[in-house]
Amino acid sequence: MFYNFTDEGSGTGMIIRPDGYILTNFHVVQDAKEIEVSMSDGRNFSAEIIGLDKLTDLAVIKIGAEDLPTVSFGDSDNMRAGDWAVTIGNALALKGGPTVTLGIVSGLGRTIQTERGDLYDMIQTDAAINQGNSGGPLVNLRGEVIGINTAVYGGAQGIGFAVSAKVALPIIKSLIDTGNVVRPLIGLNGINVTPALASRYNLGIAEGILITHVQNDGPANQGGLKVMDVITALDGAKTDDMAQFLGLLWQYKVGEEIEVTYVSDRSPKVTRVVLVERPSF
């Protein structure tokens, strides 16, 4: 794996509700028996886990406090490559308060590989994300949170990644409301079609999701999809890459029937599948 999480067992969080709800990374608090939160004003609190989402590496915890100041979220869809961005966090656990670093948004919609699985639709930034920054905010120059710092590229300088606010906000709501995130499952694994793959396997199409595995008795299998088919649309909406595909898929509810457009043996086809619930872990 090329991408390494910056830390496990320590990190940064941001207060998202005045009554003590705090957002951080899943990998910061996973398997924790005790969680201690140190505030910038010197107060310390014990915290409990409210909800975890491994798929987006997000977690919500809660401390016993009221009337706390909170962050505000911005519209990450309005960000463009080259926009200024600021990271704030407990970098290297240095004394004297949070560390603030300035950089730019280097890219949007990135997919990165980690030891815990792939993360999609990430914001890439060259603002320094050091050990201890995980779970801290990536903010715009208006002070609005546009991302949650998550991972750094272990083999280079100036390449960090944050979960976008657009991805995080519905996850936060679900974790607070129910303690987990219910997602639909289509029952397949896939990768982005690239020019090299299209040429090597004579796919007959330049963009889409190349199916690499189909779950036995899953929705995709029951719909007739097979390995080496290429999915090009869900209910008519294009799926040029995995970020698009998952973004569309996760908008549906468990039990819904969707139309899948795909290419099989260079021939366009259409099938319908009924989505089931994806296991949480």
80/174 same-domain check: yes
The alpha carbon of 66 is separated from its chain's Cα centroid by a whole number of angstroms, namely 29
Residue 280 annotated among the catalytic residues of the structure: no
271 pLDDT above the threshold of 80: yes
The catalytic position among 7, 27, 164, 241 is 27
Annotation says 41 is catalytic: no
pLDDT at site 32: 87
Task: Give the structural domain span for 54.
Answer: 8-63
Tokens of 106: 């280097």
Query: Catalytic: 126?
Result: no
Residue 260 lies in a domain: yes
Domain boundary among 123, 153, 178: 178
pLDDT for res 26: 93
Burial of 32 (0-12, 13-18, 19+ CB in 10 A): middle
Identify whether residues 82 and 172 lie together within a single domain.
Answer: yes
Q: Could you tell me if 16 and 37 lie in one domain?
A: yes
Q: What is the pLDDT of residue 242?
A: 87
Do 173 and 251 fall within a single domain?
no
Q: pLDDT, tens digit, for every residue of 25-42?
A: 998 998 888 999 988 888
Nearest alpha carbon to residue 108 among 84, 128, 86, 124: 124
| 7 has a pLDDT exceeding 70 | no
Round to whole Å and give the CA distance between 278 and 281: 9
User: Does 263 share its domain with 205?
Assistant: yes
Give the rounded percent of residues in the chain with a pLDDT score beyond 90.
Answer: 65
Q: Which pLDDT does position 87 carry in this prediction?
A: 92
Q: Please pick, among 7, 76, 121, 134, the residue that the annotation labels catalytic.
A: 134
CB 153 within 8 A of CB 160: yes
Torsion of CA 233, 234, 237, 238, to 10 degrees: -30
Condensed to tens digits (0 to 9), the pLDDT of residues 237-257 reads: 999 988 889 889 988 999 999
208 has pLDDT over 80: yes
Domain boundary among 144, 178, 212: 178
pLDDT in tens, 103-161: 999 999 888 877 767 788 899 999 877 777 889 999 999 999 999 998 776 655 668 89
Which of 7, 57, 121, 229 is flagged as catalytic? Answer: 57
User: Is the CB of residue 5 less than 8 Å from the CB of residue 26?
Assistant: no
Number of domains in the chain: 3
Residue range 253-265: mean pLDDT, rounded: 96
Element (H, E) at 49: strand 44-53
Q: What is the CATH number of the domain that holds 17?
A: 2.40.10.10
What's the pTM value of the predicted model, to 2 decimals? 0.81
Residues 266 and 194 in one domain: yes
Cβ-contact 30, 52 below 8 angstroms: yes
If asked whether residues 122 and 196 sit together in one domain, one would say no
Q: Is the pLDDT of residue 6 over 50?
A: no
Distance CA 68, CA 52 (A): 22
